Structure 1
């Protein structure tokens, strides 16, 4: 049935008019709900309720379907970003159907493989040879120390911006340092729960997240929270569905408050300066990215595709300074300048980053076929990691790392998590092989 839904979505996409059509958008939304319900139900039975698919689906809905159905017909400029920065309203229907095609393709990738293979869920996660576990315990101690050290080095480098509560406090910190620091935080959380270490050892994790929240940077806090949530669920105690709903609501409210406190000029606001008028204000951080879908779709149609140029920095990101070297040599531009988010920001002359959209990012690079194929491959990757979750600790680490981007991915790039997984692998295996010669001593 998922394949039939995908075929229907493709047909609707090519037949859709080049103007806003509320009825067609509602049909697209209904098909999305049908596909999403089957996909989430299928994966929750085998993968567990708390999964990449659940978080990604909710985020994808808000980033691509909420605005054209629930806001545009009533007050299309309710969120200032839609009124302040131009976007072609005629492409809303087409772009929404493109998003539907992308999600249905993702669903086919997920459901096809889940339907054919039995899941080895979490059973062997806790089974590790004693020698390897000894190495892991020593690795954990090193990671704990490194996390404290690198976190405070990062805070020291950004101290002026932190004291001023500037939303771009970390802009002058080398991106590779931020990535490695986040990877260490994530690994510390995972190993802390896996090895049943005291929760007080996660104090640096709380400090790290609070500093980013203090300056209005939600990305790190969301990623850390999801790693914490998934690690707790996998290694400690299963979280009930009712609690997951509560966590969702608390997350959206918290995310919106942090976003609202961040001023558009890089400064900050006080809590009493923030007002909310409607329930969807609490999903503002995701809903405003609907505009990027339309802007990116329209930009690609007018200016052509860039055939993967925006993805090059992510591919070479695991090696410090290499992305800048490659993009400067090939395109005489920085990695940031090549990103779809920067392109869309510069296209309307915005003074702050407007961000991007997963479907728009793929379409700007590879067109319709790129959206179809890469979203299918994303579904296949997620199902593969979930199916092998439990076959080895590092596979589970990769799964948790990808899941930590499940909410952010719908409003970002498909390849953003690659550098984090690459650095997690480098740290994990480097420590393992450095300590391996001492195995006989500590055995």
Structure 2
């Protein structure tokens, strides 16, 4: 009922920024966010977590879709003024915020239409050790960690020795390199960084011995993420940070809302500082962080506006220009995005489609800045959905995204001791957190590449494991494990477990 009401409101609201329209949308969003933040998730029954896909998705959505209008309602900003663009499309404000709320409601419905699945309703202590390692799931951790780390080290070495700079790294320093495969390699490196970070979290959560190459891989991951941050690429740095922090506070240790709020505040300060500093070429070589911040070009002429407002304006431009000034794309962008999981596949179909734009960011940049723009406005998930199919496209795509997020959450909740599932969940957690400022092709590509790599390693490890056990029928005998035996094993350093284990006789039920 609420979704239908806001769909009707979208077609009825007047042009401009009307207080009652903005307040109605803000109140609805606050209700959705409050419900999400007050219901911690429990992927492990013993460990509640507030860092859920829904909470992170809403938090980032608020910054770019709602916060400017909250400031406007309070009289703290003027929507007509922007130092980034000459036309802020303020007449599209009512429709833009209403379309956003439609998307948030559709996402919520999709996310909650499936219930929260879980392996057990009891505490983890009720699991015997054989329960926790059905089919040798933990044995997958080592080959997955070694292969991911080795591949990361190899690609980083090739990338640095070749002297490459992808568009994400070089756009703020004017050092972008043009080379075949550079963007794909850069994406693969970032995917592997996220996987290595997720595997390190898995090792900590299960108190497993960490292979030395994974430690090296983690060091390279952190170094790579910091390098990207120094070059001005905040979003890629945040993806890696979200995997580490989100994973730690989901699978290892509980964090209170106060701690999370404080961490968010620190991140926003850093986020703003990098935005200010990246306007200075090679600012990190000045040797004085505060002086560079004080005398930056941005700070001298700052109006208090940050780049989040550009994304807010792109959505206003979207609803003003499409479909009156430009027709819908009718699925062309989604075909291109869906195929992004397959490298170089665009060469197979783009000559036949001949699209005017290959992605929504190109279209929005031309609308706001013209054909000769020297920088890009980027896109957002609401505009990206609307440009193809209008309001119904926003409803369908946001519903599907919410449903997918819940399905991935349930996938890991049914077996939170499977490293493959943990890796996929933590990547999804980070990607959905930043999805409001992305097109949907980003999570599709990242998750598809991670899934392919993880599946190949899993299948290879399984075959090698069977070859080491000739004559094995694949069935596991009954085992009886006592607390004393586990203590003895721990003392011998053969195995460690963070859980309290009860004595039990167990027959392996196999995989689900």
Per the TM alignment, residue 438 of structure 1 is displaced from its structure 2 partner at its CA by: 2.3
Matched, 1:346 2:366: yes
Native 8 Å contact 1:193 1:232 kept in 2: yes
Mean CA deviation greater in 34-43 or 186-195: 34-43
Per the TM alignment, residue 160 of structure 1 is displaced from its structure 2 partner at its CA by: 6.8
Per the TM alignment, residue 325 of structure 1 is displaced from its structure 2 partner at its CA by: 3.5
- Of 209, 232, 239, 2:255 maps to 239
The Cα offsets for residues 226-258 of structure 1, whole Å up to 9 and x where unpaired, read as 111122123322233222112211221112222
Indicate the residue corresponding to 2:337 in structure 1.
314
Per the TM alignment, residue 305 of structure 1 is displaced from its structure 2 partner at its CA by: 0.6
Structure 2 CA distance for partners of 1:403 and 1:385, relative to 1, 3 Å: same
Structure 2 CA distance for partners of 1:118 and 1:325, relative to 1, 3 Å: closer
- Of 154, 163, 171, 2:159 maps to 154
User: Could you state the TM-score of these two structures normalised by the residue count of structure 1?
Assistant: 0.86
Indicate the residue corresponding to 1:141 in structure 2.
146
Native 8 Å contact 1:293 1:360 kept in 2: yes
- Structure 2: any 5+ residue segments left out of the alignment? 284-291, 470-512
Native 8 Å contact 1:59 1:407 kept in 2: yes
Per the TM alignment, residue 77 of structure 1 is displaced from its structure 2 partner at its CA by: 5.2
Indicate the residue corresponding to 2:68 in structure 1.
67
User: Could you state the TM-score of these two structures normalised by the residue count of structure 2?
Assistant: 0.76
Bigger Rg, which one: 2
Native 8 Å contact 1:136 1:432 kept in 2: no
Native 8 Å contact 1:299 1:364 kept in 2: no
Structure 2 CA distance for partners of 1:156 and 1:307, relative to 1, 3 Å: farther
Indicate the residue corresponding to 1:113 in structure 2.
114
Native 8 Å contact 1:255 1:285 kept in 2: no
Matched, 1:25 2:22: yes
- Residue 416 of structure 1 aligns to a residue whose secondary structure is helix
Matched, 1:378 2:379: no
Count of residues paired in the alignment: 430
- Structure 1: any 5+ residue segments left out of the alignment? none
Rounded to whole Å, the distance in 2 between the matches of 1:410 and 1:21 is: 24
Indicate the residue corresponding to 1:330 in structure 2.
353
Native 8 Å contact 2:51 2:250 kept in 1: no
Cα RMSD, aligned residues only: 3.2
Indicate the residue corresponding to 2:441 in structure 1.
415
- Of 187, 193, 203, 1:179 maps to 187
Q: Which aligned pairs between 1:13-412 and structure 2 lie closer than 5 A?
A: 13-42=10-39, 44=41, 48-71=49-72, 74-76=77-79, 79-81=82-84, 84-114=85-115, 117-120=116-119, 127-129=132-134, 131-159=136-164, 166=173, 169=176, 172=179, 174-195=182-203, 196=208, 197=210, 200-201=215-216, 202-263=218-279, 267=281, 269=283, 270-274=292-296, 284-301=306-323, 302-331=325-354, 337-347=357-367, 348-349=369-370, 350-392=373-415, 393=418, 394-412=420-438
